[in-house]
């Protein structure tokens, strides 16, 4: 039995799908309304500013990362409080959101206050604004955080809109509506 070859043009290649009927030219203009243009997505309010979030809780880190990225920030996260200075330098961080309490262990106990003292030893890092957050002892930590040089203190669970406004103010950005 002879084999016949039929060459198929790419445009004619069967796809296995039922072909859709093309709209007649006069109907094409009716497919999209010119009266109601689709709204453009809101401009990212973070302007790709670099933020470092440091917390020992992976859920807190992921929540900050998702919200801040949705609002246009470039986000780096870490659970390693002893590596904040090197991470901030490598990523050219412009703002740090830092937890106060970290698990104890190792030769030196790192907490948010210790990290801030360490950052102030480096001229290129001491200019970075720091926002401290904590899930406990808010009254004591707030005064101590501000005295240590933090620009703000927030108790967990953090009100996202409030911390976002503090971040934008610290970065010299105009407050705007975050993405939902």
Compute the mean pLDDT over every residue in the chain, rounded to the nearest whole number. Answer: 82
Number of CB atoms found within 10 A of residue 101's CB: 17
Residue 166 lies inside a defined structural domain of this protein: yes
Confidence bin at 98 (pLDDT 50/70/90):
very high
Alpha-carbon distance 44 to 24, whole Å? Answer: 39
DSSP 23: P
Nearest to 171 by CA among 54, 48, 4, 80: 48
What is the span of the domain harbouring residue 124? 50-171
Residue 26 lies inside a defined structural domain of this protein: no
Residue 8 lies inside a defined structural domain of this protein: no
What's the confidence (pLDDT) of residue 37?
53
Domain count, the chain: 1
Supply angle C-alpha 36, 42, 47, rounded to 5: 155
Task: Supply the CATH number for residue 104's domain.
Answer: 3.40.50.2300
Residue 43 lies inside a defined structural domain of this protein: no
Residue 97 lies inside a defined structural domain of this protein: yes
What's the confidence (pLDDT) of residue 36?
52
Q: Is the pLDDT of residue 146 over 80?
A: yes
What's the confidence (pLDDT) of residue 10?
47
Q: Where are the beta strands (DSSP E) in 37-148?
A: 50-54, 74-78, 95-99, 130-134
Residue 102 lies inside a defined structural domain of this protein: yes
Q: Which residues contact 111 (CB under 8 A, 6 or more apart)?
A: 81, 100, 101, 102
Give the pLDDT confidence of 20-55 residue by residue, as tens digits: 555 455 544 444 445 555 555 566 799 999 999 999
Confidence bin at 9 (pLDDT 50/70/90):
very low
Cα–chain-centroid distance for residue 37? Answer: 29
Confidence bin at 175 (pLDDT 50/70/90):
low
* Positive or negative: CA dihedral 79, 112, 124, 121: negative
Cα–chain-centroid distance for residue 125? Answer: 21
Residue 32 lies inside a defined structural domain of this protein: no
Confidence bin at 109 (pLDDT 50/70/90):
confident
Number of CB atoms found within 10 A of residue 49's CB: 22
Nearest to 74 by CA among 56, 92, 100: 92
Residue 1 lies inside a defined structural domain of this protein: no
DSSP 69: H
Q: How much of the chain exceeds pLDDT 70, in percent?
A: 71
pTM for the model stands at 0.74
Q: Is the pLDDT of residue 153 over 50?
A: yes
The tokens describing 54, both together, are 């440091």
The tokens describing 56, both together, are 């020992």
């Amino acid at each position: 039995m002879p084999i016949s070859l039929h060459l198929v043009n790419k445009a004619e290649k069967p796809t296995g799908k039922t072909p859709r009927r093309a709209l007649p030219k006069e109907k094409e203009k009716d497919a999209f309304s010119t009266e109601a243009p689709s709204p453009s997505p809101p401009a990212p309010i973070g302007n790709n500013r670099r933020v470092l979030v440091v917390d020992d809780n992976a859920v807190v880190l992921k929540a900050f990362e998702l919200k801040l990225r949705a609002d246009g920030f470039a986000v780096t996260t870490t659970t390693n409080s002893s590596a904040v200075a090197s991470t901030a330098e490598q990523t050219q961080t412009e703002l740090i959101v830092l937890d106060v309490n970290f698990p104890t262990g190792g030769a030196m106990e790192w907490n948010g206050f210790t990290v801030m003292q360490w950052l102030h030893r480096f001229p290129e890092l001491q200019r970075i604004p720091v926002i401290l957050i904590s899930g406990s002892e808010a009254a004591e930590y707030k005064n101590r955080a501000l005295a240590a040089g933090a620009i703000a203190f927030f108790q967990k669970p953090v009100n996202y809109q409030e911390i976002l406004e503090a971040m934008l103010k610290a970065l010299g950005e105009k407050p705007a509506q975050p993405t939902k």
